[in-house]
């Protein structure tokens, strides 16, 4: 008879857990989320169930922070992880390391969830959208300084109006830190108040590349901006949360540059009209040539094909020459206007203005110097007169006439003979020197 082995619950569960984890260390489980609970520590606890069973699951904070969507009760998901046993309750549970919605990508679910939340809060309402300034002089751009988007925007702004000042706040436009850096750029311009409008932009990309632009913190920063904001993210088919909360959505970075300076087109109205007329004329000529070529291609014989192509090539060369000549005339016209402007600018030579101001300052300095010298002479004369009067009133002047000042042994001035007695020492201050003496007789 085999000896009976008695297990403690802890020992038995430990053995079972080891076997379960060894055999089911990497499994995929599909089911519906229920009993969802998110703890303050960041761990997520829920149950995966189907029609016939349910399985407890936990997703720890280190894995949960990478989730692109918010788990909800009733959501059908696909989970990957390892099966284990929770010893405290002896329950079988799934330690989830990856979680995605079934039938839809995690990014898309997160996008729809955040979109619905912010829409309910009124962040998409047209009433809260700010109008763009009519003629902005300073434009702030938050983007990557190495991306193609900033080059497109700067090129268009430089071409349309050279007087616009552009301030660029460098930021990552994709990756984990992108949303925080873009938010910092929007906050900086709002705090500094050194621009009139803000453009947040980047080129197109995949859903993963644009994930930062669907961040809730970034969306709230853009919505709370006191300055008007334009979101220019991706291509025309790409929409992000930033597009919905911004005051204006531009389909491309180039379109954002055109929108922000649209009122300035009036400054170039004449040039644009000429350009449009030329484009229409060229397109019309090309259309007629293409139609004629198409008709000839359908009915002409093969031996005439070479001759037709040559003649059409000649026609294209002629149009190209006329186009170049027309543009050359326009360039020459603007060059003459530039020469006139430079001549007018040279007329207002600042060096002559500064020379006149320097002459005036030198004349005033000379007058001031003469006034100061006269004032000094006057003060010196008054000082000399005061010195002379002081010398006349000085006791030393009286002593020079033969008088003397007599002091007792204590240094007190003697004005009465009764102040001293015979045998006391006295001193006399003369005009030149002092005399020590002894009193022999005092007669009041």
pLDDT single digits (tens) 264-281: 566 667 678 878 888 888
Query: HEC profile for 390-428?
Result: HHHHCHHHHHCCCCCEEECCCCCECCCHHHCCCCCEEEE
What pLDDT is attached to residue 140?
93
pLDDT at 198 over 90: yes
pLDDT single digits (tens) 379-416: 888 888 887 787 777 666 666 676 778 888 888 888 78
pTM of the predicted structure, to 2 decimals: 0.43
Contacts with 326 (C-beta within 8 Å, 6 or more apart), sequence order:
278
> What is d(CA 77, CA 372) in angstroms, rounded to the nearest whole number?
95
What is the band of 197 on the pLDDT scale with cuts at 50, 70, 90? Answer: very high
Among the ranges given (14-28, 137-151, 160-174, 231-245), the one the predictor scored with the smallest mean pLDDT: 231-245
> What is d(CA 285, CA 83) in angstroms, rounded to the nearest whole number?
74
Specify the CATH number for 111-260; select among 3.30.450.90, 3.30.300.20, 3.40.50.261, 3.40.50.2300: 3.40.50.2300
Q: What SS3 state is found at 3? A: coil
pLDDT single digits (tens) 363-377: 888 888 888 888 888
pLDDT single digits (tens) 181-192: 999 999 999 999
Sign of the Cα pseudo-torsion (297, 303, 304, 309, in order): positive
What pLDDT is attached to residue 202?
87
Specify the CATH number for 9-103; select among 3.40.50.720, 3.40.309.10, 2.40.50.140, 3.30.300.30: 2.40.50.140
What is the band of 307 on the pLDDT scale with cuts at 50, 70, 90? Answer: low
**Locate tokens 């853009």: which residue?**
222
What is the band of 38 on the pLDDT scale with cuts at 50, 70, 90? Answer: confident
Mean pLDDT computed over 343-370: 77
What is the band of 108 on the pLDDT scale with cuts at 50, 70, 90? Answer: low
Instruction: Note the helical H segments in 161-252.
Output: 178-192, 216-223, 241-245
What pLDDT is attached to residue 190?
94
């Amino acid at each position: 008879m085999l000896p009976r082995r008695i297990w403690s619950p802890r020992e038995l569960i430990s053995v079972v857990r080891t076997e379960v984890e060894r055999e089911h260390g990497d499994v995929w489980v599909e089911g519906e989320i229920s009993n969802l609970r998110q703890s303050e520590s960041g761990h997520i606890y829920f149950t995966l169930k189907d029609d016939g069973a349910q399985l407890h699951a936990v997703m720890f904070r280190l894995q949960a922070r990478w989730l692109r969507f918010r788990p909800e009760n009733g959501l059908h998901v696909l989970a990957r992880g390892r099966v284990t046993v929770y010893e405290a309750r002896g329950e079988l549970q799934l330690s989830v390391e990856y979680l995605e919605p079934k039938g839809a990508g995690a990014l898309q679910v997160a996008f729809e969830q955040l979109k619905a939340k912010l829409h309910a809060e009124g962040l998409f309402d047209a009433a809260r959208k700010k109008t763009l300034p009519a003629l902005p002089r300073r434009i702030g751009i938050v983007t990557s300084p190495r991306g193609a988007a900033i080059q497109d925007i700067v090129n268009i702004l430089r071409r349309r109006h050279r007087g616009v000042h552009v301030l660029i706040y460098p930021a990552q436009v994709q990756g984990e830190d992108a949303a925080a850096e873009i938010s910092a750029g929007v906050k900086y311009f709002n705090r500094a108040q050194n621009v009139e409008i803000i453009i947040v932009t980047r080129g197109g990309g995949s859903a993963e590349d644009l994930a930062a632009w669907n961040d809730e913190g970034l969306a709230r920063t853009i919505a709370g901006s006191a300055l008007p904001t334009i979101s220019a993210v991706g291509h025309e088919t790409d929409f992000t949360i930033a597009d919905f909360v911004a005051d204006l959505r531009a389909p491309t970075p180039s379109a954002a540059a055109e929108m922000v300076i649209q009122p300035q087109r009036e400054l170039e109205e004449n040039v644009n009209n000429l350009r449009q007329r030329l484009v229409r004329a060229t397109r019309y000529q090309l259309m007629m040539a293409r139609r004629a070529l198409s008709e000839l291609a359908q009915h002409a014989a093969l031996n005439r094909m070479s001759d037709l192509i040559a003649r059409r090539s000649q026609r294209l060369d002629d149009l190209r020459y006329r186009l170049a000549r027309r543009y050359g005339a326009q360039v020459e016209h603007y060059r003459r206007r530039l020469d006139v402007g430079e001549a007018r600018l040279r007329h207002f030579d600042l060096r002559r203005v500064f020379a006149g101001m320097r002459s005036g300052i030198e004349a005033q300095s000379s007058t001031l110097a003469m006034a100061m010298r006269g004032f000094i002479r006057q003060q010196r004369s008054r000082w000399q007169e005061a010195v002379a009067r002081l010398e006349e009133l000085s006791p030393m002047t009286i002593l020079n006439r033969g008088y003397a000042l007599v002091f007792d042994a204590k240094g007190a001035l003697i004005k009465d003979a009764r102040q001293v007695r015979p045998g006391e020492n006295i001193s006399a201050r003369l005009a030149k020197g002092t005399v020590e003496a002894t009193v022999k007789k005092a007669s009041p």
